[in-house]
Amino acid sequence: MPREREHNRYSTQNKIFTLTDAPFGPDEVTLVTGYYDLLHSGHVGFLEECKQIGDPLTVGVRAKAKSGKPGRPIVPDDARLRVVAGLACVDHAFLDEHGYSKVLLDTLQPKTIILSSGEAASAEKTAEIIFLRTQYPDLNITELPRHTDEISTSQIVEWIHNPEDVSEKEIIRTEEIEGALIDYAQQSNAAMKSAAFIIGEGGVVLAKGVNYHPEFSGTVIYFNTATLEYKESKPRPMHAEFDAMLKLEDKGIDAASPHTLHCLHMPCAGCAEVISRKGFKKVVYYNGFDNNYGELILRRNNIELINGNSSEKTT
């Protein structure tokens, strides 16, 4: 008879536990929870980084009953739990029916909790953060950015409903954006070439803009509000940010959604005013200007402003 193989203690099923039979003691694990619906590369990358922060890594897969989104998660609780437990970076997994509550924390007593950042916090998440920081002030809490340049569950759902649109979508990774802006700016007919991209969830490029001079050789008449006089001049160039925003508007996409405006250069004051009025929450620039009022306007309107070359927020 063939020798019976010893069951691998790291098999998927052996990683799964319930709160009543946790296979570890107090202060032994790093804990992170989430829904992990339609598990994708963004989830995997995030959990792999969690593993680097704390080992062993315990993952709580949130039960559907905890979700406030209609119809979500799509995948049943047990199936999501088994898929997460199957990841090499996950040491333990359980179905989280409590969220970050006294029941959960007093039972598992983790040494570290990892929270995802870089997303609009739901009411549930905000309440949990307040609870953790007030009720467990000595607990080590680490915030780790989501992989926003990866595909998202919402994007997968959209593609399932609109499969004909998949081939038309351009997806770009964060580290590729500056080079793509420089390449796209070569289409400009202006002396100083610039470009701007509006990028949505999952790194989907929603609109592109380039600065250019209108193909018009004559002059235009405009009213100067400072001198209260009519003036004659050549047409002013279209700025890349404004060009991108117009194209986004033509597509019927709301700028107030969680999209990011990436600009090769810091927006000027005029563009900054429009960016603020359109409802953008984040602007990433790769080259700055001295004495630029655009930066002051963006900061005044509480827009998150990031230097793409240094990842430093200036808000």
Question: pLDDT tens-digit profile of 236-245?
Answer: 678 999 899 9
Residue 233 in this model has a pLDDT that exceeds 70 = no
The rounded radius of gyration (Å) of the Cα atoms in the chain is: 25
- Point out which residues pair with 144 in neighbouring strands: 116
Please report which confidence band the pLDDT of residue 168 belongs to, taking 50, 70 and 90 as the band edges.
Answer: low
Whether the CB-CB separation of 154 and 162 falls below 8 Å is answered with no
Residue 298 in this model has a pLDDT that exceeds 50 = yes
Mean pLDDT across 72-98: 93
Of 243, 232, 239, 289, the C-alpha closest to 266 is 289
How much is the pLDDT for 198? Answer: 94
Question: What single-letter amino acid sits at 264?
Answer: L
- Point out which residues pair with 117 in neighbouring strands: 145
Mean pLDDT across 259-274: 91
- Point out which residues pair with 60 in neighbouring strands: 33, 94
The whole model's pTM is what? 0.54
How much is the pLDDT for 5? Answer: 35
Q: What domains lie within the chain, and their CATH numbers?
A: 12-147 (3.40.50.620), 168-307 (3.40.140.10)
Mean pLDDT across 115-136: 74
Residue 135 in this model has a pLDDT that exceeds 70 = yes
- Range scoring the smallest mean pLDDT among 139-153, 184-198, 272-286: 139-153
Instruction: Count H helices and E strands in the chain, helices first.
Output: 10, 13
Question: pLDDT tens-digit profile of 3-60?
Answer: 333 444 557 888 999 988 888 888 788 999 999 999 988 899 999 999 999 989 999 9
Helix (H, G, I), strand (E, B) or coil at 7: coil
Average pLDDT, the chain: 81
How much is the pLDDT for 219? Answer: 56
Mean pLDDT across 179-188: 92
How much is the pLDDT for 234? Answer: 57
How much is the pLDDT for 42? Answer: 86
Mean pLDDT across 57-76: 87
Gap between the Cα atoms of 50 and 128, Å rounded: 19
Mean pLDDT across 74-80: 93
How much is the pLDDT for 164? Answer: 53
How much is the pLDDT for 65? Answer: 84
Of 244, 249, 241, 250, the C-alpha closest to 273 is 241
